[in-house]
Structure 1
Amino acid sequence: MAPHVLPRRSRRTGRRLRAVPAGMAAGLLVTGLLAVPAHGAAGGPAGGAPTGTAARAAGDARYTPGPCPKTPEPIAALKGARCGTLTVPEKRGARGGRMISLGVAVVPAASGRAKPDPVVWFAGGPGDDAVGEAQMAIDGGLNRDRDVIFMSQRGTYSADPVLTCPVIDAFNAHAVGLVYDAPSTGRLHVDATRTCRDQLAAGGADLAAYDSTESAADYADLRLALGLEQWNVFGISYGTDLALIYLRDHPEGIRSVGLDGVLPPSTAGTALTWSSAREGFDGLFRACAEQPACARRYPNLPATFDRLVRQLEARPVTTTVKVPGRAAPVKVVLDGGTLVNWLTSATHLAAGVPRSLDELAHGRPQRIAEQWAGGKVSPQTVGRIAHGLAYGVFCREWVPFESPDDAVRAGREAFPAFPRSVLEQAPQLTFLTADCAAWRVPAAPRSVRDVTRSDVPTLVMSAGFDAQTGARNGPYVARTLSRATVVTIPYVAHVAFAASPCAQEITRSFLDAPTAPRTGCVGGLRPPEFDTGPTT
């Protein structure tokens, strides 16, 4: 969920969805308008979409069938997809403003007999490209008997303009060798953000137009332009924030909404990341404590983790590691802030976490250092994340509505033993207030933080090990969703649908019967077998 951390499905996130381990790289991605498709076919109906070379307008928006959006690497799920572009105003309400293009891919139903209400996928991040997440959706069977629509959010990899910033990606790679939360690191962090901002603005982008409100309007236009009476929305990570704003602002034509890894628009920001981290860490530590072999081998993991954060913050450890794709060893500095952010993503690799912490406690930092560096310096992280969209969301919708002190208080409540220097930099959202001062966009109207009230059937799904969007967010948003089904999938991390067959089964049953999904599989789930390793 943030510009410089790049987890998967969430932007640093998001979350974030690639070849590196889940959660250890972006996700938590120039335009596909003129690109030659590496896969997929142009034309053909997309549900009620126009065929051939016809185009359909929705207000100022226009859909045109054409080549499939470009992706960083081939995506098997897009073979045979029907594709095109949606052209929309960059900023609605601005007379004579420029138009931008968003890549669209429609994966047909596997059954060959698609139901009339397709699924539209809302990507994580902010800044991930939905087209790049298609494989995860299809692997989970989302297209069993419905077409699934993927549209790149404005600014993302297969949109035009594309608001990625390699200068930020390069900083992220360099920063693994810096003290995570040092003021000197913060100055370099903000320098990279400012350079990104200046480059994008020089290219003509109206950076205040890249936010959730405009993205939600893009999806409303897409449904009309495709001629669809109804569709089902499924969002992951930041995509749940966007889905709730879309449901609030454009409720027409929505049959159902699925949320996985819930991020409430009313509370999104730095303070929320601390409570989510606490909840996800505790879920993992508790699962170890309840497994006799893990409990014997690694007693009282929470205390070990807290002690390591304090020790490393006082005396950072420097090491070098080999990273795939890099010939030279990579310098890595582990301090308290690094360890907190490593664990936020490492919950995706839960079975190995206790052993990794134990090795660090006994003077062997390589396992954690390799994982931390691998998600940052890999060439696969470069140029994929739309930092321009991410900062639009952060700096218009989140930062203006909380203070740095709010985040420190939330951190202190969640982790009372942590040093203040750690608490001042929220997980995944490091130096965000200073970044937003450099980004220079106006705050969104306060209404962007309004809760969503709706009687549209909604699946509110969380994960027990989710340290990015904690499971308590689910019941919180469900309070104002009168036909919500709330479920937590235990023993998996951020975005349960990506890793849990049970979550996938529940989602498919929800699409069949939105007010009565089958959730019984949750009762049969078991924790991972934790790696107890050799005796120290």
Structure 2
Amino acid sequence: MGSTLRSQYKNMTTSGVRTRRSRNWHRRLGMVLAACATALTTLPMASRALAQETGQTIQPIEPLPQPNAPAAPPITSDPVSPSLNSAPNFAPSSSANSSFAPTFEPNNCPFTLPPEFARETVRCGMVTVPERHSNPTGKTIRLGVAILKSKSANPQPDPLVMAQGGPGGSMLELLPAFLPSLAGMRDRDIILFDQRGTRYSEPFLFCQEVYDFKVQNARFPDSPALRDRYQAAVAGCRDRLKNSGVDLAAYNSLESAADVPLVVQAAGYGGPFNFYGVSYGTMLAQHLMRDFPDRLRSVILDSVAPLDTSFIVHLPRNTDRALRRFFEACRRDRLCGSTYTTLEQDFLGAVAKLRARPQVIQLPNYGELQDLLEGRLSIENLDPNRLAVPVLLDGDGFISAVSTAFYSSASIPKLPQALRETRQNSYAGILRVLPLLLFSKSQADGVYNSVMCSEDGGFTLAEVDASGVYPEIAPALLQAPEELLRTCQTWQVPPLAPKANQPVRSAVPSLLLSGELDQVTPPEFAERVARGLDRHYRYVLPGLSHAVFGSSDCVSQMMGGFLQAPDRAPNAACVSQMRTQFEVPKPLRFTPATANNLGISMVIPAGWRLSMQGLAPVWSEVDGSGFATGRVLAVSVAQQSTAEVLRSLPYPTRSLGERRYRNRRWQLYTIDNPSLASIVALYTRRGKTYVVAIDSDSLWHRDAVLEGVLSNFRIQSR
């Protein structure tokens, strides 16, 4: 695998990634993910074939959309909580930064737009702000900013400012995925910014120590000793950042809220602005409504988190609530209810099975891919063993993975089938979101710790309510609050002034949006916040989960209508037509596909698109959240035995025997990794081996695609 990956990645890094690291990151990562499924299944084989026959490398046609990064951590991520003995922190007021003149320094955009948006006008740069707004002449920091210019000949004067959640997530890296959903809001400029300490701001408070801990220890069961080692990693990150001059206590919500008017000013807008925040970003919005009400024309709160309670305290019951409503929605749906009659039992059965017999599986290490594709890691120093991480999947880990799947509304329709396939020891449909959170280098761990410990962690374990929660999952859901309190003792930042945790009263026009199946910020949270908002419109979106923007055209239409007239309720007729959607196995439709350079023709599922071309073409299916959920790769290799071809794969295989399709006998091999639904088919003719690799997020879908592709596989006459 090592030499194979080196030959593939060498071309990527020598073609400009070292000199233009961030600019082409999304294109290169999209290229890798398109070919390698969720765990690098087909990429090495394609690279091997190309290196053997021509020395060429795979060429991407276009980058696949990147998944919408979840706006809050999963229940197994590193929770945080405040130190109870610290002194109050300074709270910036609306006049705290009045004497500071922010500057905008143009810079290259850290993303590549999809081809259909290549003509968009986007200005990117860095805005300088004080690290402490109470000391405008002191140390400064820089925030990454992107300004998407309006398409209107007469744009509205008030821009829309958009902030990501987390805390610690990056908004800039989401712009390519968000563009289609912004179509109804292009009558004004849109400002996206990375909050202080996050991915494209300086400094970036990423904890390499915590990332390394996860990669090195994910295969071990939970234990007191393991938790001690985790806290040592947190302490190592804390000390490194402090020694580099970072004031960890300055990376809190009040300082970040005071940044926003300066970002708008530096971008060239002097009047009121509109603000959109998702998940933690809704807390930032509430601080703006309290401290800078005169600057706000309107506010959109997506997946609302209240200020006067910690979401961590409610996590057990909110997760339980989302699961029960999901099961009930399936029961009430005619097709889902009749197909998946044991859905709840499948979930609880998988928890029990994995508690009794945990499994070590392999998950993709997205952080290593990021380092490689952005030039921080050279080919010569690449350790191929780090590209896939051994992870212990036990009962608690399975609960976490299912909860994490609810971060993507596009995952929910397929979740019943994914739960059913756990009976067959397949977890591909459950685990596709989890690696993006566990092994990402885009999340600013330091920001997450500083924000949560200063603002959202002032609770005791006695306040954590797990009453009525499934007894099979309650112990797992209580682990996050416990570890959260300990992490904040390690992080050592003071709590904010008491007003930071008081409900906001505001007359700013507000639109509050909640997903019916949100397991982190349920609709009840929005109702709680709405009590203090004099001019608000609140909606619950059926069938959606966390972070509803980008998941439904209905949401985009409502947001666009609200921005045009914040004093009137938006047209919400589309909400009544929404419901939880479910997918069940059904016959697939296929369309012809030809790879003339391979001398073959076949069919692929209708709607799939060619995502890589060359001598190893890949056709991909992408869901509404930007996840590639299915791929077909075709390649031919000369003078290679079956064993040599299989050795090019990163995972061991298991033979399924020989199967005849039309007049050809294919050798079938499944990838022996429960986190994948992948299969490789080989057919040898006249010294040449034809290879078809298929990845999917479910076994039935994989097998249906395989049947269609191989039944229509033809070798062209030369």
TM-score range normalised by the length of the shorter chain: 0.7 to 0.9
Distance 1:95 1:143 in 2: 34
Distance 1:177 1:363 in 2: 22
Distance 1:187 1:128 in 2: 26
Residue 180 of structure 2 corresponds to 139
Residue 467 of structure 2 corresponds to 413
Residue 158 of structure 2 aligns to a residue whose secondary structure is coil
Contact 2:172 2:193 in 1 (8 A): yes
Residue 62 of structure 1 aligns to a residue whose secondary structure is coil
Q: 1:132 to 1:414 in 2, by over 3 A?
A: farther
- Pairwise CA distance, 1:461: 0.2
Residue 244 of structure 1 corresponds to 286
Distance 2:71 2:65 in 1: 9
Distance 2:470 2:196 in 1: 40
Residue 375 of structure 1 corresponds to 436
2:573 to 504, 508, 520: 520
Q: 1:234 to 1:376 in 2, by over 3 A?
A: closer
Contact 1:323 1:373 in 2 (8 A): no
Residue 232 of structure 2 aligns to a residue whose secondary structure is helix
Contact 1:25 1:376 in 2 (8 A): no
Q: How does 1:108-257 map to 2 (within 5 A)?
A: 108-141=149-182, 143-179=185-221, 181-225=222-266, 226-257=268-299
**1:65 paired to 2:118:** no
Residue 20 of structure 2 corresponds to none
Contact 1:276 1:471 in 2 (8 A): no
Residue deviations 1:109-164 (CA, integer Å, cap 9, x gap):
12232101110112111011222232344321264201001122111122122212
Contact 2:516 2:545 in 1 (8 A): yes
Distance 1:298 1:62 in 2: 60
- Pairwise CA distance, 1:329: 5.7
- Pairwise CA distance, 1:300: 4.8
2:122 to 81, 88, 105: 81
Distance 1:430 1:70 in 2: 40
Distance 1:528 1:296 in 2: 14
1:386 to 439, 444, 454: 444
**1:305 paired to 2:347:** yes
- Pairwise CA distance, 1:525: 1.8
Distance 1:499 1:65 in 2: 32
Residue 424 of structure 1 corresponds to 478
1:283 to 311, 320, 325: 325
Residue deviations 1:362-408 (CA, integer Å, cap 9, x gap):
25143257436633566xx22x1111211111111111x2112322x
**1:339 paired to 2:398:** yes
- Pairwise CA distance, 1:21: 4.8
Residue deviations 1:436-464 (CA, integer Å, cap 9, x gap):
11101111112111101111110000112
Residue 61 of structure 1 aligns to a residue whose secondary structure is coil
- Pairwise CA distance, 1:303: 4.6
CA RMSD in angstroms, aligned pairs only: 2.9
Q: 1:269 to 1:110 in 2, by over 3 A?
A: same
Identity of aligned residues (%): 29
Residue 93 of structure 1 aligns to a residue whose secondary structure is coil
Residue 453 of structure 2 corresponds to 395
Contact 1:62 1:86 in 2 (8 A): no
Contact 1:234 1:257 in 2 (8 A): yes
Q: 1:94 to 1:294 in 2, by over 3 A?
A: same
Residue 353 of structure 1 aligns to a residue whose secondary structure is helix
Amino acid at match of 1:425: Q
Distance 2:213 2:201 in 1: 24
Amino acid at match of 1:524: Q
Q: Which runs of no fewer than 5 residues in structure 2 stay unpaired?
A: 1-63, 75-95, 370-383, 586-698, 702-718
- Pairwise CA distance, 1:205: 0.4
- Pairwise CA distance, 1:248: 1.3
Residue 55 of structure 2 corresponds to none
Q: How does 1:353-372 map to 2 (within 5 A)?
A: 353-360=415-422, 362=423, 364-367=425-428, 370-371=431-432
- Pairwise CA distance, 1:183: 2.7
Q: 1:25 to 1:520 in 2, by over 3 A?
A: closer
Residue deviations 1:168-214 (CA, integer Å, cap 9, x gap):
233334454233x5333322322221111111111100000001010
Residue 496 of structure 2 aligns to a residue whose secondary structure is coil
- Pairwise CA distance, 1:476: 1.3
Q: 1:185 to 1:201 in 2, by over 3 A?
A: same
Distance 2:127 2:263 in 1: 7
Distance 2:135 2:272 in 1: 29
Distance 1:115 1:68 in 2: 25
Give the count of matched residue pairs: 477
2:529 to 473, 477, 491: 477
1:495 to 547, 569, 572: 547
